[in-house]
């Protein structure tokens, strides 16, 4: 097993005899600033944070993720914004 950050997160949770907490949020939903604040807040408690890139055809995603992606796009989030905003995180 490799020592990737993901594997290390699962290993730590196993050693602590607890389930690993994985979270997901869409970048730019509700606003860029609020989205980053949400990510920082949940990262204090989560073992792994997955950041979704909003796109205009999220047909394979559930309704809540679709709505989040549409809201982020409507508010003007662009892929370059995701990299510039969240790379500092």
Residues labelled as active-site residues: 50, 61
3 state DSSP class of 21? coil
CA distances to 16, 24, 49 from 11, rounded to whole Å, are 9, 20, 16
Phi, psi (degrees; rounded to nearest 5) at 66: -60, -45
């Amino acid at each position: 097993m490799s020592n990737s950050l993901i594997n290390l997160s699962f290993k730590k949770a196993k050693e602590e005899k607890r389930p690993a907490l994985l979270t997901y949020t869409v970048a730019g939903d509700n606003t860029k600033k609020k989205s980053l604040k949400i990510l920082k807040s949940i990262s204090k408690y989560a073992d792994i944070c997955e950041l979704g890139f909003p796109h205009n055809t999220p047909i394979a995603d559930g309704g809540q993720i679709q709505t989040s992606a549409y809201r982020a796009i409507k508010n003007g989030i662009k892929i370059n914004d995701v990299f510039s905003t969240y790379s500092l995180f």
